[in-house]
Amino acid sequence: MPLANSAVSAFRLASRLFRVPAHAWVAVAFFSLLSGVGAGTLQAAIHTQQTPLAEPKPFEAQYRFEMRGWPSATIIHQLSQEDNHWLSDMSFSVTVARGAERSRFIVNEDSVHSLVYNSSYALFGIGDTYQLEEAEMFLPDRQAALFELSRQAGNAGCVVTSPCEINYLDHRGREEQFAYYLVQRGPISLPAGEFDALTVALVDAEKPDRQLQLSFHPGFPGLVLSADYRREGRRETRLSLTHFQPQGGATP
């Protein structure tokens, strides 16, 4: 495969990796490769919570993102409050690639409602921009979904034998579907220090050789502590928290 095509393929994989959760975007390396189920399940999972969902808090974070065969990148993530809504902003830049993703959403007691979503990506100077407006978003965008997934991570009912479900819209407005379950609760050590964590696994029934594990901070919804994406047992990407500043996401 020519170098340019190989690079584009690798970037597309990273782009769809936060992502999510596993083809989300490099900066959203969390939503990878997975699939989930019906549209109403996110709401249903929320209603099974035994304790109130954590309230949003502003923060600023930096992550080290590593993808096999590529130089590591720094991802900057900020959650801030603007009037009655919240802004989640992620960005990264390396020598050959850059990306940014922003979402404005309203946080309700047991759900999120997306208002506007913007993203831009470029590889070797060639890229594109995308925008979704409130009227187009019948589901949360992936930044809002990541925030909400972190609030649900401690749901005791989400187990490997009975996983919970979540779906969202990707940067083009296409529905993505995921299933997840709680792996463990407990402290983890990271470059930024030691943190209490809730770790979930996201799986794709059609691609059982792929798995993404995400660790969230139970007290700061949206804050990813670590992410580990494996394919056929081999780690493809890893994300680790390197800097965390509470209140750092306050509106300028």
DSSP assignment of 4-52 equals: HHHHHHHHHHHHSSBSB-----GGGBSB-S--B--TTHHHHHHHT-SSP
- Higher pLDDT pick, 2 / 183: 183
Q: What is the pLDDT of residues 227-239, one digit of tens each?
A: 988 887 788 888 9
In sequence order, the β-bridge partners of residue 230 are 211, 235
C-alpha 6/C-alpha 3 separation (Å) is 5
> Coil, strand or helix: which one is 142?
helix
In the predicted structure, residue 111 carries a pLDDT above the cut 80: yes
Query: Which pLDDT belongs to residue 65?
Result: 87
Contact indicator for 58, 80 with CB cutoff of 8 Å: yes
The tens digit of pLDDT for each residue in 154-190 reads 876 888 888 888 888 988 888 888 788 999 999 999 9
For residue 119, what are its two tokens?
A: 């993203």
CB atoms within 10 A of CB 18: 32
Average pLDDT of span 65-92:
87
Mean pLDDT of the chain: 76
- Helix H or strand E encompassing 143: helix 142-152
The percentage of the chain sitting over the pLDDT mark of 70, rounded to a whole number, equals 76
Spatial contact of 13 and 24, defined as CB atoms under 8 Å apart:
no
207 or 141, greater pLDDT: 141
Q: Which is it for the CA torsion 122, 127, 133, 137, positive or negative? A: negative
pLDDT of residue 106: 95
Residue 41 neighbours by CB under 8 Å, 6+ apart: 164, 165, 166, 167
pLDDT of residue 1: 38
- Position 42 scores a pLDDT of 37
Q: Which of 20, 239, 250, 13 is nearest to 140 (CA)?
A: 20
pTM beyond 0.85: no
**pLDDT over 80 at 77, yes or no:** yes
Q: What is the mean pLDDT of residues 87-105?
A: 86
